[in-house]
Structure 1
Amino acid sequence: MTRLCIPPELCDYTIDYLHDDPSSLKQCSLTCKSWLPAARYHLFGRVEIHSQYSCDAFYRVLSGAPEIGAIIHQLDISSSILGELMGAKAKARGISPLVMIPPLLLSLLPNVKVLTISALTMKAALHNQWSGGITSVTQLTLHGCFFDSMGQFIDLYHSFPCLETLSLTDTRWKSSKYLHSRDRPVGTTHLRSLSLGKGLAIACLVDWFVEQYACSNLTFLSAYCSSQEDVTALAALITQAAHLEHCEFQWYGFAHDNVIRLPDAFSLVDCTSLKKLYIRCPVMYDQSLPWVTSLLSRAPTQLLERIDLEVRLLGSADAIDWAGITRILSPTMFKSLLSLKLGVILWSSIGTTPRDVESMIRGYLAPLERHGILKMTVL
């Protein structure tokens, strides 16, 4: 009887195709020993811990088969809000909130590179689990986390000495106290990408980054600002980010006179490596946004290839100086500019049609359209 022999490369290719099908991967892992490594890689490549029950169960698995820990490269940790709401009934179903990570758990995960922590209150008992320093993690995301103090967040940050990518949204602390750089040594920074989303005390956080010179090697920056104070603080950070290549700036601002102006200190001119600039803003009733043209006039002209402008329009389309944008983005100045991608989203109560808004804006930006730069959508 002829025995069918499938090349190992074909087996690996087939199992890779099933990367998002846990049920099939489990069957593959039981088929033969040669299929087990590839199946395990996808089954355990990313692990989600969402309750105390799942955390303890995962720890038992690693304790019995520590070789699995070396496969895991992405770890998502979150506390089940549902568990807190449902109480004892939730605990019986294994969705109790996460309150403690076994002390040895992280030592069993030597190759985790991507770590996401969501909806977690970093109490002292939980926070101390990170204090040993995790050199493998290069990408950290915090969403909806709460710290006793900003100093506690800083301690967590310093637990990842090889961190390259940091993303923060809805992360808060009870107290803004922390040790200043003169009180603690400043480590070598590897940070290349920084995303500051909604729900952050941006001014306080950015002041610390500036004090630490933590952003001197940034190539990617995304920031959501909700006040003049946020933008002013961000200006100081940008002066240290001379190697910036990609910048995303969102400003949902308000002013007493409804005129939103860019602080004089805010400029991208020294970011001579900048290639992509994304600007997002809402236009509220009776607002004027001269900050948009001010920002474009302070953008570097050397290498900038793409500008994306997304406008959510509740007020007048005239709130932005479209003619000014045309003058600023003259091809004689921005010789490397390949694309101005403009997206305008109309709120239902605005009282005008997308066609009318598009026609008006295209009239102002006609010179850019003739040069083949403008790409525009109005919804």
Structure 2
Amino acid sequence: MSPALAQDLPPEVVDFIMDGNRGNRKTLSSCALVCKAWLPSSRYCLFSEFDIYVGPTHGASFLKLLSNPSCTIIHCIRSISIYPGVPGPEGIASVGEKTMAGLAKLKHVASLRIHNHRGCIPKETLASISSNFDEVTTLRMSNRFPSFRDAVEFVAMFPALKSLVFYPYCVNAASDTASDVSIPSTLRSLHLHSPFTHGAWFSEHHNQLDSVILSAIKTTDVDRVKEMLAAFGADLRHLSLGFERPQSVFDEQQSARDLSAAVNYACNPSLASLELKIPGASGGFLLAILESMRTPNLRRLTWDTGSLRPVPDWEKVDTRLADRAAFKRLNQVHFLSEGISVRVQLPKAEAMGIKILGSEVQRR
């Protein structure tokens, strides 16, 4: 395509081209050179995400760029990940006022990730981060806190927060409670790693969520998961349950057995999407879990175990999935399991208009 023709393309077409190549920085760089009209859109995609390592000798070039009057990418940056650039226990704790002042120029950041395992970030630094990025709607916390209360207080500093990913590294489970702390009412999505420690707090104090991901669930956590789902109730529309990889065959069987016996999702009548990740669970438990489910409004089901052996009773599985009394709105079932083509095993479900995706579909 000649530069003259490219120049005349409608803006929405240019944006579509750039968005389709968002993960290919080389192609985006080439697109930026096609013509002047393509530059803003390609630049937005190129510079929308940044990883920065902060510390006395790190991040200086990036901060210098931001302070340059000729810098025009500041308004493009929508996502930033902050990593420690200092060895030792301090990590991000050594971030100075000059660094924070430089980052304060990024007024349009909507997604923030903080990754710091080496030590607890001082409250003053956390307060500075939250005040600089007060438009953040997605927060990923992979850092240490002295107590769970400190973590919740930090979350509460983001008034527009909609999505929270929380990895509670080295948070003291026996720390003081946070019953008097209110997190933003805008929060609708929660991804909680290892729900045993603090999952109950979220279900008790902020249960108006429509999307919940619980990962690193242990076999002993099933009862707690049941309590959390009951608290989330009718608001919950999207749910993903991911169990830890079992230590033995008994554990893998126990996870699936306990889940089918304790959790039927009847307390979540609006549930539209369910993903179950039970590493090592054999295909024999698939039917038991399907029979236990009370999800009439479910539209999408994903079963991720890594294996469907021993092979389940496909005829019974097919009959269960095709049962419109049990699954009135089910239109897609995705099996992320290796070694078996499931589509040919479920003719009744397909005849009911349910799209069957098998292991030939590439994992996300």
- Interval containing the TM-score (normalised by the shorter chain): 0.7 to 0.9
Deviations 1:84-143 (A, max 9, x none): 49xxxxxxxxxx975415332443222210112235545334545335474300011234
Q: Cα gap change, 1:13/1:57 in structure 2, threshold over 3 Å: closer, same or farther?
A: farther
Deviations 1:152-178 (A, max 9, x none): 322322222211112245x41242244
User: Alignment partner for residue 53 of structure 2, among 27, 32, 50?
Assistant: 50
Aligned-residue identity in percent: 20
State the Cα distance separating 1:335 from its structure 2 match: 2.5
Alpha-carbon distance between aligned partners in 2 of 1:374 and 1:63, rounded to the nearest angstrom = 52
Report the secondary structure of 1:152's partner residue. Answer: helix
- Tell me what 2:173 maps to: 176
- Tell me what 1:192 maps to: 188
- Tell me what 1:209 maps to: 202
Is 1:163 the counterpart of 2:161 in the alignment?
A: yes
Conserved in 1, the CA contact under 8 Å of 2:190 and 2:213?
Answer: yes
* 1:243-322 correspondence runs (5 A): 243-252=235-244, 255=250, 258-259=253-254, 260-262=257-259, 266-283=263-280, 290=285, 293-294=288-289, 297-301=292-296, 303-313=297-307, 316-318=309-311
Q: Output the amino acid matched with 2:182.
A: V
Q: Cα gap change, 1:262/1:283 in structure 2, threshold over 3 Å: closer, same or farther?
A: same
Conserved in 2, the CA contact under 8 Å of 1:49 and 1:55?
Answer: yes
Alpha-carbon distance between aligned partners in 2 of 1:272 and 1:149, rounded to the nearest angstrom = 35
Q: Output the amino acid matched with 1:150.
A: F
Q: Output the amino acid matched with 1:72.
A: I
- Tell me what 2:107 maps to: 110
TM-score, L = length of structure 2: 0.72
Deviations 1:280-319 (A, max 9, x none): 22336xx796587346533321x222222223228x425x
Q: How many residues matched?
A: 336
Give the RMSD, CA atoms, in angstroms. Answer: 4.2
Conserved in 2, the CA contact under 8 Å of 1:194 and 1:221?
Answer: yes
Q: Which runs of 5+ in 1 are unaligned?
A: 86-95, 347-353
Which is greater in Rg? 1
Conserved in 2, the CA contact under 8 Å of 1:261 and 1:289?
Answer: no
State the Cα distance separating 1:74 from its structure 2 match: 1.3
Alpha-carbon distance between aligned partners in 2 of 1:334 and 1:37, rounded to the nearest angstrom = 47
Q: Output the amino acid matched with 1:377.
A: G
Alpha-carbon distance between aligned partners in 1 of 2:353 and 2:223, rounded to the nearest angstrom = 35
Q: Cα gap change, 1:147/1:180 in structure 2, threshold over 3 Å: closer, same or farther?
A: closer
State the Cα distance separating 1:13 from its structure 2 match: 7.1
Is 1:377 the counterpart of 2:355 in the alignment?
A: no
Report the secondary structure of 1:262's partner residue. Answer: helix
State the Cα distance separating 1:14 from its structure 2 match: 6.4
